[in-house]
Amino acid sequence: MAYKIIVDAGHGGYDGGASYNGRLEKDDTLRLALAVGNILSDMGYDVEYTRTSDVYDSPVQKARIGNESGADLFVSIHRNSSPTPNTYKGVQTLVYEDVGLKANLARSVNNELEKVGYRNINVVERPNLAVLRRTKMPAILVETGFINNDEDNALFDNSFDETARAIATGIDDTIRAAGLKAVTQDETAEAISRIDDDSINNLPEEEDNSIEITDEEESGVDSGAADGEINEPGIENVGEIPDDNSNYEGYIKDVPTGENDNNDIYQLLVGIYRTAGSANYQMNNLINTGYPAIIFEDEGLFQVRVGTYDNIEEALIAARELRDRGYDTLIVLGNN
């Protein structure tokens, strides 16, 4: 049986993902996902997609589609974005945890994309992303350059085929190196005709075993996380941002600030911590990624908040960006 890969085009339908000058992430991801899938298919893989048209499924549904497909590998295609255009560039591949096959896949894909001309901004652990957390097979999420960086867009458009080929090659090299790439049926028949009966009986079993070890390792990590809790100790799950603008009211939480100014602003609550050290760590992560994060102390807990937005639309855009980067985010009311 051929090694099966499910390719996930990020976002879709009314979830456009990040946008820049009318360019929508969901369109770039679909085009690239289909191109990557075609190449993988030519390479002999069994390829499926979470979507092949402009439709919406939540990340949780996408993970479910992946699990139900019985794929051996889940590859999610996205484009990155930063709060200010043209401040960041490069490729970044996200994994649930930076270990095992997925870590090798992520590095290999980044390295191949670097050869195309993208800056390699490394592999990042994102334990909160549904497509990485809830998938039972190894999963990677490729942030194929920043959609709000003109250089990255020029590479994406002018070297589109090379970009798709780089991702497929990065995957293929790693799967081959791990001994997981199943041979085609013709090759199998040819190989079987050359070996004796005992070896024939042993061959499939050995192949299955090597795949199972990987699966066990993955599901051991992922099943612990599939209960919806954030895995880092000391963080409370602050819920997910709705995908539909019309629902946002339910996600706004009035947080008392102890001030009497009526000038409401919105902030993004990204985590609540029991220790200042954990809060500091998260705050610095966010600041290093380009987000204006602060610590807000309330009832003995340390909240990490991002930004001050004076309208809900801006807050939602920023919340989506953060969610895309793997942060569970809650919009809260602050006072100016």
12-31 binders of Zn ion (CB under 5 A): 17
Residue 145 found at the interface with Zn ion (CB under 5 A): no
Which amino acid would we find at residue 3?
A: Y
Distances in whole angstroms, Cα of residue 219 to Cα of each of 27, 131, 137, 225, 284: 31, 13, 7, 9, 31
Determine the interface stretch with Zn ion among 114-122, 174-182, 183-191, 319-327 (rule: CB under 5 A): 319-327
Indicate the Cα dihedral angle 132, 243, 57, 99, nearest 10°.
0
Choose one: 67-75, 88-96, 213-221, 318-326; the region binding Zn ion (CB under 5 A): 318-326
Closer CB to Zn ion, 10 or 334, in the complex: 10
Angle at 222 between CA 272 and CA 252, to 5 degrees: 30
Q: Minimum Å distance from CB 4 to Zn ion?
A: 24
Rounded least distance, CB 77 to Zn ion, Å: 9
Q: Which residue in the set 10, 37, 138, 271 belongs to the binding site for Zn ion (CB under 5 A)?
A: 10
Please say whether the beta carbons of 134 and 128 come within 8 A.
Answer: no
Using the rule CB under 5 A, give the single segment among 3-11, 38-46, 250-258, 307-315 that binds Zn ion. Answer: 3-11
**Among residues 29 and 174, whose Cβ is nearest to Zn ion?**
29
Catalytic entry in 48, 143, 218, 240: 143
Residue with tokens 């999610």: 76
Please tell me the distance from the alpha carbon of residue 14 to that of residue 9, in angstroms, as a whole number. 14
Run of H or E including 75? strand 73-80
Nearer to Zn ion, 93 or 278 (CB): 93
- In the bound state with Zn ion, the residue whose beta carbon lies nearer, of 72 and 324, is 324
- Torsion on CA atoms 169, 104, 222, 245, rounded to nearest 10: -60
Size of the site for Zn ion (CB under 5 A): 4
Q: Residue 143 catalytic?
A: yes
Measured CA to CA, the distance from residue 174 to residue 165 in angstroms comes to: 14
Rounded Cα distance between 105 and 210, Å, is 17
For Zn ion, the nearest residue by Cβ is: 78
Contact stretch for Zn ion (CB under 5 A) within 71-79, 180-188, 251-259, 261-269: 71-79
Q: Which is nearer to Zn ion, 324 or 328 (CB)?
A: 324
Report the nearest approach of Zn ion to the CB of residue 110 (Å).
17
- What residues are paired with 273 via a beta bridge? 302
Smallest gap from Cβ 11 to Zn ion, in A, equals 6
Candidate segments 38-46, 82-90, 202-210, 320-328, binder of Zn ion by CB under 5 A: 320-328
Q: Report, in Å, the least distance between residue 268 CB and Zn ion.
A: 17
- Taking the C-alpha atoms of residue 302 and residue 269, their distance in angstroms, rounded to an integer, is 11
Nearer to Zn ion, 17 or 271 (CB): 17
Q: Which secondary-structure segment (H or E) carries 77?
A: strand 73-80
Where b means 16+ CB within 10 Å and e means fewer, 172-191 reads bbbbeebebbbeeeeeeeee
How far apart are CB 89 and Zn ion at their closest, in Å?
A: 16
| 324 lines the binding site for Zn ion (CB under 5 A) | yes
Under the binding rule (CB under 5 A), the answer on residue 78 touching Zn ion is yes
Q: Which residues bind Zn ion (CB under 5 A)?
A: 10, 17, 78, 324
Which residues are annotated as catalytic? Answer: 143
